[in-house]
């Protein structure tokens, strides 16, 4: 094995086939960027789930005067009803982790804080907001247990699971991620086809060399290695560009645009980028290597 000879062959091959090499680099970069972006969205969703599921609560809104749900037919919630609900909630421990009572006054204060810049505040009075129990569950997926126990009981207007609202949002993100993955998949197929074609052209343009190599008894490995390395190198450069794009996405889009505008939630950290980058590199180089290997087996036969 002579490394310098193989390296020289690889350099020659890449230079002679420059336009195709550039095409391979660009398609690999674009497809892997999309692939990386999809993985980043996935990491983002899981980060947000961790962040939010820790905070979500089940809200049990109690009847106020004038509530028109059937369970509120008896008018505003009575003290006895309220105490009974609290006792029943206590009996659901350890599923119920924390119970917090929010009075009309507290609800109004929180509302005012949340919408402090909006004219809506002026139209809402303390009495318009319901009092509620905020319940934190040790396992947020067991929401149904609480809901079935309390929904429809006299004195309770509504049982709300915040997770359901979040889930809609996560489904949206999941959909986006799926679309990105699908496009990435299509692009990766295009990339593989391009590499197959590039290898065919490369094998054809060097058929004189390879036929002599076969005649003088060069091993298949030795004949194919320069081609394989060329494909892997081009894909590697493309993958590095895609990783660069991923870093730019993280710095510009996540850290500088999204994070300052949406401070209430958590965003993916560099650990996610560090985990995705090697996946991109391996996917790119691996796909190119496999595509090249099978093409060469067909076109550079002994």
Only segment of 60-68, 71-79, 149-157, 220-228 that touches another protein (CB under 8 A): 220-228
CB 40 within 8 A of CB 249: yes
- Which residue bears the tokens 């510009």? 252
E-only strand ranges, 30-127? 58-62, 96-102
Q: How far is CA 21 from CA 26, 33, 163, in A?
A: 9, 18, 49
Only segment of 26-34, 37-45, 146-154, 210-218 that touches another protein (CB under 8 A): 210-218
Q: Does 217 bind another protein (CB under 8 A)?
A: yes
CB 163 within 8 A of CB 143: yes
CB of 216 or CB of 274, closer to another protein:
216
Token pair listed for 126: 């303390």
CB of 53 or CB of 222, closer to another protein:
222
CB 211 to another protein: min, Å = 7
Q: Does 212 bind another protein (CB under 8 A)?
A: yes
The only residue of 80, 216, 261, 264 in contact with another protein, by rule CB under 8 A: 216
Angle, in degrees to the nearest 10, between helices 162-205 and 270-299: 30
Only segment of 52-60, 216-224, 259-267, 283-291 that touches another protein (CB under 8 A): 216-224
CB 204 to another protein: min, Å = 16
CB 227 to another protein: min, Å = 13
Report the residue count for the chain.
Answer: 302
Q: Which residues contact 155 (CB under 8 A, 6 or more apart)?
A: 62, 63, 71, 72, 74, 77, 78, 81, 82, 85
Q: Does 64 bind another protein (CB under 8 A)?
A: no
Q: Does 223 bind another protein (CB under 8 A)?
A: yes
- Where do contacts with another protein occur on this chain (CB under 8 A)? 1-2, 4-5, 208-209, 211-220, 222-223, 302
């Amino acid at each position: 094995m002579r490394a310098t000879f193989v390296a020289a062959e690889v350099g020659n091959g890449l230079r002679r086939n420059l336009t195709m090499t550039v095409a391979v680099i660009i398609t690999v970069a674009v497809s892997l960027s999309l692939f990386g972006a999809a993985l980043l969205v996935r990491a983002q969703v899981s980060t947000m789930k961790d962040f939010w599921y820790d905070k979500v609560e089940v809200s049990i809104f109690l009847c106020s005067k004038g509530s028109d749900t059937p369970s509120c037919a008896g008018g505003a919630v009575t003290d006895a009803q309220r105490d009974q609900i609290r006792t029943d909630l206590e009996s659901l421990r350890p599923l119920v982790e924390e119970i917090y009572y929010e009075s009309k006054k507290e609800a109004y204060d929180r509302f005012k804080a949340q919408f402090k810049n909006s004219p809506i505040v002026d139209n809402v009075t303390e009495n318009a907001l319901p009092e509620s129990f905020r319940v934190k569950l040790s396992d947020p997926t067991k929401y149904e247990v609480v809901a079935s126990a309390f929904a429809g009981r006299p004195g309770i207007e509504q049982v709300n699971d915040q997770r359901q609202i979040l889930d809609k949002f996560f489904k949206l993100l999941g959909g986006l991620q799926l679309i990105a993955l699908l496009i990435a998949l299509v692009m990766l197929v295009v990339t593989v086809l391009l590499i197959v074609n590039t290898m065919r052209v490369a094998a054809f343009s060097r058929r004189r060399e390879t036929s002599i190599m076969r005649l003088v008894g060069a091993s298949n490995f030795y004949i194919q290695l320069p081609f394989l390395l060329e494909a892997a190198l081009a894909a590697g450069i493309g993958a590095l560009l895609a990783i660069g794009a991923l870093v730019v996405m993280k710095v510009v889009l996540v850290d500088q645009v999204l994070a300052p505008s949406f401070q209430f939630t958590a965003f993916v950290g560099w650990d996610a980028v560090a985990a995705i980058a090697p996946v991109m590199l391996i996917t790119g180089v691996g796909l190119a290597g496999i595509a090249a290997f099978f093409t060469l087996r067909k076109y550079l036969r002994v």
